[in-house]
Amino acid sequence: MAQVVPAEEAAPVHVADAHVFYSWSAQALIKPMVIAGAEGSYVFDDAGKRYLDFSCQLVNTNIGHQHPKVVAAIKAQADRLCTVSPLHANEARNEAARLICELAPAGMNKVFFTCDGSEAVEHACRMARLHTGRIKLMARYRSYHGSTTTATNLTGEPRRWPNDYGSAGVVHFFGPFLYRSPFHSSNEEEESKRALEHLEQAVLLEGPSTIAAIVLETIPGTAGIMPPPPGYLAGVREICDRYGIVFIADEVMAGFGRTGKWFAFENYGVVPDLVTFAKGVNSGYVPLGGVIISDPIAASFAERVYAGGHTYSGHPLACAAAVATINAMKEERIVENAAWIGENVLGPGLTALASRHACVGEVRGLGVFWALDLVRDKATREPIAPYGGTSAAMTDLVRACKERGLLPFTNFNRLHAVPPCNVTEAEAREGIEILDEALSAADAYCGV
């Protein structure tokens, strides 16, 4: 069992917390929950209360908390080599790159390591611009790509607004989302066709010769977990090929087992030119991200300096954690478990909640990557919280989940069910049962 320091023996967290500046927060309006320990699919607060982690923190602890093989690998690497300049080769980085390229499609044989997903997106865009000699980037609304300058400007949701100065050469377009279709579609086939027509028109009106890359989360994560309809990603690939545009797949959240495949794009039979990753590559145990690079783009920099780098690129501790994570996922068939849980437990179980609760408008997802779109009225599909904001209904829902021992992931009017990829059937069913009870708190706001 995880060791949790009793509250009376723990350091006074509130004292240290006075000096922490929190991300994405109005500092005076938050009261962070203290996490004192974790194990597997559970976390523990400073009073020792246990919570089933249906958030995976920020959807990154794909193999759960404190996996012994990964913890041991970090300790062993620390004894051997804690850090080294990225100018030097090191065994952990070499092995991590090799394993990642083994998982990637044929023709993708290089990895550039970063510290997180934002930096991965930043460098993928830089590579695309240098490779093509073009400047513009295209990304969809209802997306999140990170917090660095280019990644923030690519983002298609409200976190972009305070940081968007219109100077990053980014053009946004509408992606497919049948439940709230901008194309007035009545089925997935129409939605895919119309979304692709809209994208190609945007490319033509912007000027194909000016566009370096189209950047897409294979399955948008924080923005709503919206699996693309059949044919859409293949259509994007065709548009990119037609106009010489680089296709960047943002797999930071959807990659490394989350959808029941190593990479989410495998569900759709497409191969991108650049793939960004982070989070699940080592379950977030030590910060790590990167870009998987196709051979033609890598060749652009064979005799030409790539103008980019990090002091901590391919950090030995992070890469050792990645090696242990990938090997553990293979040995324990964790990716296959995610697919089975999605098909047999989460999918049917969450869909059943929609039939019992007035607030659940739609359930969508795959693997261990699901969202409940919560509404005030199923007929009108009016969100139970405004776009870019929250509501009393969502506050009460989160409180009801925590009271029952579930740590949820919510954003605007959605509740995401995103447990670890190695969650057990019993744990997944426990989470659904708690959600079944907690959703009654949101039901009270329907029809009023």
In a domain, 29, yes or no: yes
> If we measure between CA atoms, which residue out of 423, 267, 268, 429 comes closest to residue 347?
429
pLDDT the model gives residue 1:
46
pLDDT the model gives residue 290:
98
In a domain, 2, yes or no: no
pLDDT the model gives residue 143:
96
Residues 58 and 73 in one domain: no
Residues 355 and 316 in one domain: no
- Residue 36 belongs to a domain with what CATH number? 3.90.1150.10
Residues 304 and 263 in one domain: yes
From CA 376, how far away is CA 130, in angstroms rounded?
48
Domain region containing 60: 13-66+333-443
pLDDT the model gives residue 166:
64
Per-block average pLDDT, block size 10, for the chain (448 residues)? 47 66 90 95 96 98 98 98 96 98 98 98 98 98 94 92 80 98 97 98 98 98 98 98 98 98 98 98 98 98 95 97 98 98 98 98 98 98 97 98 98 98 98 98 92
Q: What is the 3-state secondary structure (H, E, C) of the chain?
A: CCCCCCCCCCCCHHHHHCCCCCCCCCHHHCCCCCEEEEEECEEEECCCCEEEECCHHHHCCCCCECCHHHHHHHHHHHHHCCCCCCCCCCHHHHHHHHHHHHHCCCCEEEEEEECCHHHHHHHHHHHHHHHHCCCEEEEECCCCCCCCHHHHHHCCCHHHHHHCCCCCCEEEECCCCHHHCCCCCCCHHHHHHHHHHHHHHHHHHHCHHHEEEEEEECCCCCCCCCCCCCCHHHHHHHHHHHHCCEEEEECCCCCCCCCCCCCHHHHHCCCCCEEEECHHHCCCCCCCEEEEEEHHHHHCCCCCCCCCCCCCCCCHHHHHHHHHHHHHHHHCCHHHHHHHHHHHHHHHHHHHHHHHCCCEEEEEEECCEEEEEEEEECCCCEECCCCCCCCHHHHHHHHHHHHCCEECEEECCEEEECCCCCCCHHHHHHHHHHHHHHHHHHHCCCCC
Instruction: Among 314, 331, 348, identify where a domain stops.
Output: 331
Taking phi first (over 0 means left), then psi (-120 to 50 degrees means alpha), and beta for anything else, what does residue 43 get?
Answer: beta
Angle at 268 between CA 134 and CA 344, to 5 degrees: 140
From CA 75, how far away is CA 331, in angstroms rounded?
20
Residues 97 and 232 in one domain: yes
Within 8 A by CB and 6+ apart from 372, the residues are: 350, 353, 354, 360, 362, 363, 414, 415, 416, 417, 435
Residues making up the chain, counted from first to last = 448
Contact call for residues 366 and 261 (beta carbons, < 8 A): no
In a domain, 7, yes or no: no
Residues 26 and 88 in one domain: no
In a domain, 206, yes or no: yes
Residues 104 and 212 in one domain: yes
In a domain, 6, yes or no: no
Residues 318 and 342 in one domain: no
Instruction: Among 281, 304, 331, identify where a domain stops.
Output: 331
In a domain, 4, yes or no: no
Widest pairwise Cα distance in the chain? 65
In a domain, 8, yes or no: no
- Residue 85 belongs to a domain with what CATH number? 3.40.640.10
Residues 177 and 234 in one domain: yes
Residues 22 and 39 in one domain: yes
What is the domain count for the chain? 2
From CA 399, how far away is CA 138, in angstroms rounded?
38
Phi/psi of residue 447, nearest 5 degrees:
75, 15
Residues 94 and 234 in one domain: yes
Within 8 A by CB and 6+ apart from 75, the residues are: none
Residues 327 and 337 in one domain: no
Instruction: Among 291, 307, 331, identify where a domain stops.
Output: 331
In a domain, 417, yes or no: yes
Residues 135 and 152 in one domain: yes
Side by side, which strands form the sheet with 50-53?
35-39, 42-45, 50-53, 406-407
From CA 376, how far away is CA 447, in angstroms rounded?
6
